[in-house]
C-alpha cells in the first residue's frame, strides 16, 4: 500500500520489480486489497489507492475522481461560496475524500476522512437510495437509527420513505441530522454502468439556506452531478465493499 500510495497506478509487473515479490503472491494480496476497499483496479489492470487509503499520502489528491471534483464544482463555489465535499461509501459510513472550503466565517468545520452514518447523512442517503429495498431492510432493520444530533428515526419505514424521495428527486437533503444548524444537500455521481461512485455535497448553515437560495443551489447542484457523472463515466466503482 505504501508503494501504491507513493507512486499510484502500478501494474503487477511494476510492483513485482519494486518489491521483489512473485506476481502470483502480489495478485493474491492485491485481490484482498481491492475486496476490502484499500485499492481499486482500472481497466488496464493497474492498481491505485481506494477509499480506505485516502489520507495515507498526498497522492490521494491526484485520484481521477478527486481531480474531476475540483473542476466540476468550481462554478458552484464561485456562485454560492459554500463548502462542497466529495464523499464515498465505506461500509455503513459516508466518508469525505475531498473538500472545497467556503471563505465565509460561519461554516462547517470538517476534514478529509470525516465519517457520518450513511442512513443519517445526505451523501450516505444518495448511496443507500441506489440499493435494493430488501438490502436496506437487511442492513438497517431492527437497528436503532439515531442521527449524530440525536434524532431517532421512527423505524426502518421512515428510512425507506426518505430514500424513496431521494430516488424521486435525484438528490438528498439533510436538515440538522449530522450537525446542529447545518443544512446539506447531495447528488450522486454515477459511472456508465449505473454504479454510484461518489456523492457531491454542499454544506450550508441553516441561516444561509433560505428557500429561494436553497432551490437555486439544488438546481445547480443537480446540474453539477449530471456533468460530473458524464466526465467520470469510465471510472470503476470507488467505494469499499459492503461488509
Q: Does residue 158 carry a pLDDT above 50?
A: yes
- How does pLDDT run across 211-231, given as a tens digit for each residue? 999 999 999 999 999 999 999
- How does pLDDT run across 27-76, given as a tens digit for each residue? 999 999 988 878 888 878 899 877 676 655 445 555 678 889 999 999 99
Question: Residue 61's pLDDT is what?
Answer: 57
CATH 3.20.20.70 describes domain 63-231:
no
Rounded to 5 degrees, φ, ψ at 5 are -65, -40
State the Cα–Cα distance between residues 162 and 157, nearest whole angstrom: 9
Predicted TM-score (pTM) of the model is 0.77
Question: Residue 55's pLDDT is what?
Answer: 52
State the Cα–Cα distance between residues 62 and 189, nearest whole angstrom: 18
Sequence ranges of the chain with CATH classification 3.30.450.40: 63-231
CATH 1.10.3720.10 describes domain 2-53:
no
Sequence ranges of the chain with CATH classification 1.10.10.10: 2-53
- Axis crossing angle, helix 23-35 with helix 12-19, rounded to the nearest 10: 120
Rounded to 5 degrees, φ, ψ at 131 are -80, 150
Amino acid at each position: 500500500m505504501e508503494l501504491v500510495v507513493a507512486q499510484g497506478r502500478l501494474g503487477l509487473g511494476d510492483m513485482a520489480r519494486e518489491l521483489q515479490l512473485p506476481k502470483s503472491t502480489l495478485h493474491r494480496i492485491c485481490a484482498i486489497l481491492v475486496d476490502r476497499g484499500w485499492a481499486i483496479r482500472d481497466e488496464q489492470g493497474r492498481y491505485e489507492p481506494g477509499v480506505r487509503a485516502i489520507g495515507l499520502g498526498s497522492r490521494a489528491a491526484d485520484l481521477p475522481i478527486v481531480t474531476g471534483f475540483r473542476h466540476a464544482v468550481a462554478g458552484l463555489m464561485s456562485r454560492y461560496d459554500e463548502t462542497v465535499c466529495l464523499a464515498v461509501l465505506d461500509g455503513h459510513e459516508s466518508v469525505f475524500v475531498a473538500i472545497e472550503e467556503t471563505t465565509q466565517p460561519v461554516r462547517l468545520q470538517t476534514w478529509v476522512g470525516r465519517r457520518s452514518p450513511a442512513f443519517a447523512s445526505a451523501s450516505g442517503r444518495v448511496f443507500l437510495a441506489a440499493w435494493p429495498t430488501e438490502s436496506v431492510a437487511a442492513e438497517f432493520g431492527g437497528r436503532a437509527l439515531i442521527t449524530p444530533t440525536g434524532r431517532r428515526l421512527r423505524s426502518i419505514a421512515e428510512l425507506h420513505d426518505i430514500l424513496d424521495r431521494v430516488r424521486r428527486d435525484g438528490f438528498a437533503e439533510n436538515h440538522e441530522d449530522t450537525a446542529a444548524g447545518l443544512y446539506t444537500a447531495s447528488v450522486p455521481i454515477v459511472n456508465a454502468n449505473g454504479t454510484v461512485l461518489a456523492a457531491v455535497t454542499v454544506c450550508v448553515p441553516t441561516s444561509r439556506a433560505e428557500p429561494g437560495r436553497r432551490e437555486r443551489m439544488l438546481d445547480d447542484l443537480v446540474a453539477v452531478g449530471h456533468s460530473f457523472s458524464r466526465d467520470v463515466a469510465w471510472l470503476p466503482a470507488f467505494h469499499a465493499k459492503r461488509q
